[in-house]
Amino acid sequence: MLKYELFEKAYSMLDILTPLKSDCGELCNHACCVSDDEDAGMYLFPGKEVMYAEKPNWLRIEETAFTYGKEEKPALIAICTELCVRKLRPLACRIFPLTPYIGHNGVVNIKIDPRAVPMCPLAKPYGAKRMDKDFMLAVNDAFKILTQDKEIYSFVFDLSRLIDEQESIMSCFAPPQRSQKRCRAIHRRTRSV
Ligand code: SF4
Ligand code: SF4
């Protein structure tokens, strides 16, 4: 299947599903759509940019420093300059606060995006339990399909390593004793190289 067809399929699977059956934006005043940082945005999955061939006037698409795959292709980011037209919002917005994740065993899964934790009530441990199971299953199924494409798989694999790094940094600030020990171990290894 062509990337375009894969995205169409993924979109149709997620079409009517959102993190909650009600409007989750009421929990947080739509925190994920409001940012003072003009350069903040959402990653575009590879090939997704073709769906914005006629770019809406609320959208900027730019290259990022994050690269993926053997060719080290720069990932693209979508930055909305005002509230988007909902039916055109990027895939990353549709699945937020979830992200696809590929472990070192190569298995495609989904998890809470650690980058969502500071702003999204549903990304907190007590909030995640409230998330609509149909939504979670659909995101999971959509990425099983999307990652059949080698480039998308490679992007998600490398993105997962960024997520690993972010979780590792976040664990340094977590209160339990075990996390603090883990951080010290990381620090020691870094110094001995
Ligand atoms: S920050 Fe989380 S709870 Fe708030 S609108 Fe976005 S996805 Fe929904
Ligand atoms: S593109 Fe739309 S859904 Fe995504 S952050 Fe911007 S306003 Fe929110």
Tell how far CA 94 is from the center of its chain: 10
Question: pTM of this prediction?
Answer: 0.86
State if residue 32 touches ligand 1 by the CB under 6 angstroms criterion.
Answer: yes
Q: Which ligand is nearest to the CA of 19?
A: 1
Counting other chains too, the contacts that 116-120 makes at CB distance below 8 Å and 24 or more residues apart are 116/32, 117/170, 119/28, 119/31, 119/32, 120/28, 120/31, 120/32, 120/96
The residue-averaged pLDDT of 110-137 equals 93
Residue-number span of the structural domain to which 50 is assigned? 3-192
Tell how far CA 108 is from the center of its chain: 13
The residue-averaged pLDDT of 59-70 equals 93
- Structure confidence at residue 177 as a pLDDT band (50, 70, 90): low
Q: Do the beta carbons of residue 109 and residue 101 sit within 8 Å?
A: yes
State if residue 96 touches ligand 1 by the CB under 6 angstroms criterion.
Answer: yes
Task: Please write the tens of the pLDDT for every residue from 125-136.
Answer: 888 889 999 999
Cα distances (angstroms) measured from residue 118 to each of 31, 124, 191: 10, 8, 30
The residue-averaged pLDDT of 159-169 equals 92
Query: Whose alpha carbon is nearest atom 6 of ligand 1?
Result: 32
Q: Do the beta carbons of residue 112 and residue 124 sit within 8 Å?
A: no
- Structure confidence at residue 142 as a pLDDT band (50, 70, 90): very high
State if residue 33 touches ligand 2 by the CB under 6 angstroms criterion.
Answer: yes
Q: Is 180 a residue whose pLDDT tops 60?
A: no
Residue 128: its pLDDT value, please? 84
Task: Please write the tens of the pLDDT for every residue from 9-57.
Answer: 999 999 999 999 999 999 999 999 987 777 788 999 998 777 777 888 9
The residue-averaged pLDDT of 81-89 equals 90
Q: Which of 89, 91, 95, 96 to mutate to test the pocket of ligand 2 (most atoms within 8 A of CB)?
A: 89
Residue 176: its pLDDT value, please? 62
- Structure confidence at residue 61 as a pLDDT band (50, 70, 90): very high
User: Which tops the pLDDT comparison, 139 or 187?
Assistant: 139
Q: Do the beta carbons of residue 132 and residue 19 sit within 8 Å?
A: yes
Task: Name which of 125, 157, 134 is nearest 46 in CA terms.
Answer: 157
Tally of domains within the chain = 1
